[in-house]
Structure 1
Amino acid sequence: MKALQLEQPKTWKQIEIDEPDAPGPGEALVRIHRVGVCGTDLGGYLGKFPFFSYPRIPGHELGVEVLEVGPDVKNVQPGDRCSVEPYINCQKCYSCERGLTNCCEEHKTLGVMCDGGLTQRMILPARKLHLANNLTYEQSALVETLAIGCHAVDRAQVKEGETVLIIGAGPIGLSALEFVKVAGARPIVADLSQKRLDFVKTNMGVNDTILVAGDDSDIERLESLTDGRRADVVIDATGNNRSMAGALNMAAFGGRVVYVGITQSNLEFPHAPAMHRRELTLLASRNALSRDFARIIDLIEKGTINTDPWITHHAAFEEVADVFPTWVDPESGVIKAMIHVDG
């Protein structure tokens, strides 16, 4: 059975792996139809993503078909189309006991800490499959990206009428944008790329944007859009330590700052004038919860979330090694690339 492996950063290798065994209790055998590509995959390709190890079969944004289920599996059956929740949790640690399965102490994300879905068939825990029979396989693969933004907005407890600044208009920032809009809040999007800002204006209905200059003019622009108040909530989706530290200065008094991007660098910011004086709440957001997947599938089915603008690029399985380097370039216009595995 064919699979695509990142042997080391920037080195793809097509390999043959064994066919999976029959599913055991609580398991399902699935066929992979679509694999979405996100910043985690790009970072893994470049050797810059925390937690990524090599060699590794990537792929955690998956649209799959159930082929066979093991004993006692009740939530799915053969023929079902599903979205995959790729966060494998132990179900035993203190985090799992409290329902915080997204930050399990033994957490493993498919395609990052263990092999993922860039192959034809695989065994998965059936509890990680979410029915999506009314979605396409591409929409099913998109659900995980949307779940990241959903969880970040939930962490911030965004309220109707609040102003939310989203820093970074890549897929994770855009997923947060979807749920800021669902919450009835006012979004402002900031990014270094005018091309990305044009995209959110044209395709996602955002009126207010900030082309980041990296100096005091960014705050001045934000204040001009908020009558001097700045943002009730700031969601930083950049993974850039300078941006993340500076995000505190973009928050209003009593505001909340959510880090959904990841950096391996230390963050440094002044406590007294930024954090203390404004009495800010600082939050991390990691992965998503099971309930987020069912919610997103329902929102897509109802048309509340329009997936049409999201999927901008496609590649067949055999084309990945050749086209993947082009997707790393921010100016390529990639929002979400889909790999067609079918077979």
Structure 2
Amino acid sequence: MKALICPEPGQLALIERPDPQRGEGEVLVRIRHVGICGTDFHIFGGKHPFLEYPRVMGHELSGTVEEAPEGSALKAGDAVYIVPYLSCGTCQACRIGISNACCNIKVLGVHTDGGMAELISVPAQNVIPAGGIALEDAAMIEFLAIGAHGVKRGGITARDRVLVTGAGPIGMSAIIFAKARGAHVTVMDTREDRLGFAQSDLGADAVLFADADAETNAARLTGNDWFDVVIDATGAAPPIERGFGFLAHGARYVLLSVVRQDIRFSDPEFHKREATLIASRNAQPDDFAEVVAQMQAGRVPTRALNTHRGSLSDGVQLFQDWSRPEAGVIKAILDL
């Protein structure tokens, strides 16, 4: 089968490798679409903290069942998406129901080879019927579930004023699901085009340009009350640290981003607000179900989000083209 591999940072190659053999309790899936994630660009750029090379990337996956275990509810030809978090089921995290933070987790395309390949074999519990969602849209379920999980972790309600920092795809997913809960959502970014998209296509209520005047403008926007929930999706330490300054008293700060560096903040300022700092990692089954439900209800602008398409065979060049900011990629999808 064909596979797109990243042998080292900055390098990609389309290779031939043997078809995977379906293991016991696994489903063999023929990949049809692969969403390209910021994680993949970080892997390509050598910036991901949890990775060893070489690696076949790809964790935003949809396809059709090639072969399923005897007795499975799945059958050959079924349209499915893949939950890419392979959890052990026995560790402390799994025992308390947070398999998304499994102590022994292996994420497809990160800790183990992923789905930028024609076939993949994964545990049956990680293969979910697409529920009538078009397969090209089903390849976007995972990244949307990340935002849905962060919104859930933040306990967002209709009374909250929410600031999403970073208007990339993960930030956009947080906007979509915060708005679905009725919150008033402000978005902050350094790119005017992303801010415009957040308002015109995602329903953001207000925007802030992330310049030296952002704090002054945020204070004016909120009547000096600041934000009940701040969700960081920037993927960089300096804006994460800056985000602490936008917290209202009693606020929750949700970190969707993960970075290599230590994060520093003023403890007196954080303490006097009795604020809460929340990590949000991956997503859980109910988050995936929430995405599917919102897609089925027509509340996710999938056509607007999917800005770039191309084939796996052209992936070496396309991946490099799409990694440039001037390409204007929101969500790119490789088709097989």
TM-score where L is the length of structure 2: 0.97
Shift of 1:325: 1.7
Q: Distance between the aligned counterparts of 2:131 and 2:92, measured in 1? A: 34
Describe the superposition over 1:245-298 as per-residue Cα deviations: whole angstroms up to 9, x where unpaired: 1111101110000110111011111110x2111110000000000221122112
Quick check: 1:275 aligned with 2:270? yes
Alignment of 1:70-219 (within 5 A): 70-74=69-73, 76-213=74-211, 215=212, 217-219=213-215
Which residues in structure 2 correspond to 1:248-327 (within 5 Å)?
248-272=244-268, 274-327=269-322
What is aligned with 1:59? Answer: 58
Specify the alignment match of 2:230 in structure 1. Answer: 234
Deviation at 1:24?
Answer: 4.0
Corresponding residue of 1:34: 33
Q: Any unmatched runs of 5+ in structure 2?
A: none
Q: C-alpha distance in 2, partners of 1:115/1:249?
A: 39
The one-letter amino acid paired with 1:239 is G
Q: Is the 8 A contact 2:215 2:246 kept in 1?
A: yes
1:79–1:182 Cα change, 3 Å: same
Distance 2:82 2:19 in 1: 20
Aligned AA (2:26)? E
Q: Partner amino acid for 2:114?
A: G
Q: What's the offset of the Cα at 1:115? A: 0.2
Q: Which residue of 2 aligns with 1:6?
A: 6
Mapped to 1, the partners of 2:158 and 2:92 lie a distance apart of 33
Is 2:219 the partner of 1:223? yes
| Whole-angstrom CA distance in 1 between matches of 2:79 and 2:297 | 17
Deviations 1:106-139 (A, max 9, x none): 0111001100001111111110112114111111
Deviation at 1:332, TM superposition (A): 1.8
Please report how far the alpha carbon of residue 144 of structure 1 lies from its aligned counterpart in structure 2 after TM superposition: 0.1
Q: Is the 8 A contact 1:34 1:138 kept in 2?
A: yes
Shift of 1:25: 3.6
Task: Indicate if the aligned counterparts of 2:202 and 2:301 stay in contact, CA closer than 8 A.
Answer: no
The answer to whether the 8 A contact 1:24-1:70 is kept is: no
Give distance in 1, aligned partners of 2:325 and 2:166.
Answer: 12
The structural deviation recorded for 1:304 is: 2.4
C-alpha distance in 2, partners of 1:17/1:190? 44
1:286-323 Cα offsets, whole Å, 9 max, x none, are 00002211221122112122312110001111211112
CA RMSD in angstroms comes to 1.1
Cα distance in 2, alignment partners of residues 17 and 103 from structure 1: 31
State the Cα deviation string for residues 193-244 of structure 1 (Å, max 9, x = none): 111111112222223101101x3x2111111111111110000001211111
Contact 1:130 1:293 in 2 (8 A): no
In structure 2, C-alpha distance between the alignment counterparts of 1:331 and 1:234, rounded to whole Å = 28
> What is the CA–CA distance in structure 1 between the aligned matches of 2:83 and 2:67, rounded to whole Å?
18
What is the TM-score normalised by the length of structure 1? Answer: 0.95
Q: Could you tell me which residue of structure 2 aligns to residue 50 of structure 1? A: 49
Cα distance in 1, alignment partners of residues 282 and 25 from structure 2: 23
Q: Is the 8 A contact 1:25 1:72 kept in 2?
A: no
Aligned residues of 1:26 and 1:72 also touching (Cα < 8 A): no
- In structure 2, distance between residues paired with 1:194 and 1:335: 14
Quote the Cα distance in structure 2 between the aligned partners of 1:41 and 1:269.
Answer: 29
Residues in 1 aligned to 2:324 and 2:188: alpha-carbon distance in whole angstroms? 19
AA partner of residue 10 (structure 2): K
Deviations 1:57-89 (A, max 9, x none): 001000111111013423x22221111110000
- d(CA) in 1 for partners of 2:91, 2:322: 38
In 1, the alpha carbon distance for the partners of 2:149 and 2:172 equals 13
Q: What CA distance in whole angstroms lies between the structure 1 residues aligned with 2:305 and 2:252?
A: 27
Name the count of aligned residue pairs: 336
